[in-house]
Structure 1
Amino acid sequence: MENTQYKLAAWPAIVHAKCPRCRRGDLFANSMYGFKGQVMNKTCPHCGLVYEREPGYFYVAMFVSYALNVAEMVTLAVAISVLTGSSNPWLYCGIILSVAVVLSPFNFRYSRVVLLHWLTPGLHYHPEMSKDNL
């Protein structure tokens, strides 16, 4: 039974912000919303993968976060228009900016998750790394 392949699904690992190589270790040391801010682990606690591939690696996550922000703002603007029919720019600005502030921790976390899971060349899932450390 030791030769059986142990595979973990990709989507739960992405949703729960797990390591892209082993899908077991946490990317972040604390929760998304809290007073201490988000602290990202330097290495995977399960397989030891160094998350910051090179100095300044996570600057690219800002572009992913920007894309998430734009998608959220456009979606909100369309929803406000459809639901209220208002043309008051203060309504749009108030709601969109409020939601952007509330979703900023989400965007921070998942821009890094998307960068590590999908946009990093050469970083792939290794099922053998998912096994329990004994």
Structure 2
Amino acid sequence: MAPIASNKAALLALRCPRCHEGKIFTSPALSFKFAEMPEVCPVCGQPTEPEPGFYYGAMFVSYAFSVAIFAVTAAALYFLFGDPEIWVYVVVVGLTAMLFTPLSVRYSRMLMLYWFGGVHYTSNWTRYEPKIRRTALAPKPTPAVA
């Protein structure tokens, strides 16, 4: 499959920010596993979680999406149906929020990955190989004896 040239189009298609080819989510949006992500991009090997707890910030983005969904749904009910009873608002806004939750979670994670993940599109990418960092506790390599 050819990579998507535009960052915006790749974000909307839920593709890897590095290669614009790999799918970031493993399951369909309307399933119980809608938020499952592979550890690395299946095409280029780029890790999908830059650091532990990276997607906690996506909760705030998802919250903003939910508030926007609530406001648009409530305004549509008000203007289309002439201010119905409060239970209509609760039921319709609640069902709309539940319906859009998978998309909200997915796109909030994608926005976090594209904006704050530190990964940028490269048209001539090579397979990602993580760099091994040596620490004081890591064993030092032993020289080969010939």
RMSD over aligned CA atoms reads 2.1
Q: Is the 8 A contact 2:25 2:34 kept in 1?
A: no
Give the gaps of 5 or more residues in structure 2.
127-146
Moved more, 120-129 or 21-30: 120-129
1:5-28: CA deviation from partner (whole Å, max 9, x where unpaired): x87222331122100111011101
Rounded to whole Å, the distance in 1 between the matches of 2:106 and 2:4 is 24
Q: Give the alignment partner of residue 83 of structure 1, picking from 58, 80, 85.
A: 80
Rounded to whole Å, the distance in 2 between the matches of 1:25 and 1:80 is 39
Local SS of the residue matching 2:125: helix
Aligned residues: 125
Structure 1 position 122 matched with structure 2 position 118: yes
Between the two structures, name the one with larger relative contact order (CA 8 Å, sep ≥ 6). 1
TM-score using structure 1 length? 0.84
Rounded to whole Å, the distance in 1 between the matches of 2:4 and 2:124 is 8
For 1:1-134, list aligned pairs within 5 A.
Answer: 8-117=5-114, 119-120=115-116, 122-129=118-125
Q: What is the aligned partner in structure 1 of residue 139 from structure 2?
A: none
Q: Which runs of 4+ in 1 moved over 3 A?
A: 35-38
TM-score using structure 2 length? 0.77
Q: 1:93 to 1:7 in 2, by over 3 A?
A: closer
Rounded to whole Å, the distance in 2 between the matches of 1:86 and 1:73 is 15
- Flag the structure with larger Rg: 2
1:19-59: CA deviation from partner (whole Å, max 9, x where unpaired): 01110111011211124444211111111111111111111
Local SS of the residue matching 1:129: coil
